[in-house]
Structure 1
Amino acid sequence: MRAGGRQEKVEVGTIVTMDRVKAGEDGKVQLVPVLLVDGDKITSDAKSLAKVTVTAEVLEDLRGPKIVIQKFKNKTGYKKRQGHRQELTRVKVTGIK
């Protein structure tokens, strides 16, 4: 499945942490499949994957670790310090149909 800018390998029951996603009123979210492996059968073309749906339940919204960004230029007196925390969502895959 595609989660933000990354791809994750999932099964039913897998818990995945991904970029922040808005859940529906029922707390569920639809995810985009990239590749489907069912035993020996592998599906990767877009037309067949359009029929496949991956549903997940949102467990919690959280924030990632603090990242400190520092910029410095020698002999000019330029210093800059900045921080960032990524907004994340933890989801549990409930179905692949």
Structure 2
Amino acid sequence: MRAGGRQEKVEVGTIVTLDRIKADENGNVSLAPVLLVDGDTITHDASALAKVVVTAEVLGDLRGKKIVIQKFKNKTGYKKRQGHRQELTRVKITGIK
């Protein structure tokens, strides 16, 4: 499935951490599949994948590990320090139909 510019390999019951996504009022989200493997059958055709929906239940929102961005230019006195924490969502895959 694809979410947030990345692809994840999932099955029903898998817990995945994604970039922050909004859920509906029931706490569910729909995700786009990239490839479907069902036993010996592999589906990668876009028209066939348009009929497939990956549903997930949102377990909670969280924030990632803090990273520090430092910029420095030699002999000019320029220093800059900045921090960032990515907004994330943890979801549990509930169905692939």
Shorter-chain TM-score bucket reads over 0.9
TM-score, L = length of structure 2: 0.99
Separation of aligned partners in 1, 2:42 and 2:22:
30
Separation of aligned partners in 2, 1:36 and 1:56:
16
* Residue identity in the other structure for 1:61: D
Separation of aligned partners in 1, 2:68 and 2:15:
28
Equivalence map 1:28-39=2 (5 Å): 28-39=28-39
**Per the alignment, in what secondary structure is the counterpart of residue 80 of structure 2?**
strand
Aligned residues: 97
Q: Hey, what does 1:5 align to over in structure 2? A: 5
TM-score, L = length of structure 1: 0.99
Unaligned stretches of 5+ in structure 2?
A: none
Aligned-residue sequence identity (percent) comes to 85
Separation of aligned partners in 1, 2:52 and 2:22:
21
Please tell me the root mean square deviation across aligned C-alpha atoms, in Å: 0.3
Over 6 Å off, 4+ runs = none
Separation of aligned partners in 1, 2:21 and 2:69:
25
Q: Any idea what the Cα deviations from partners look like across 1:65-94, whole Å, max 9, x if unmatched?
A: 000000000000000000000000000000
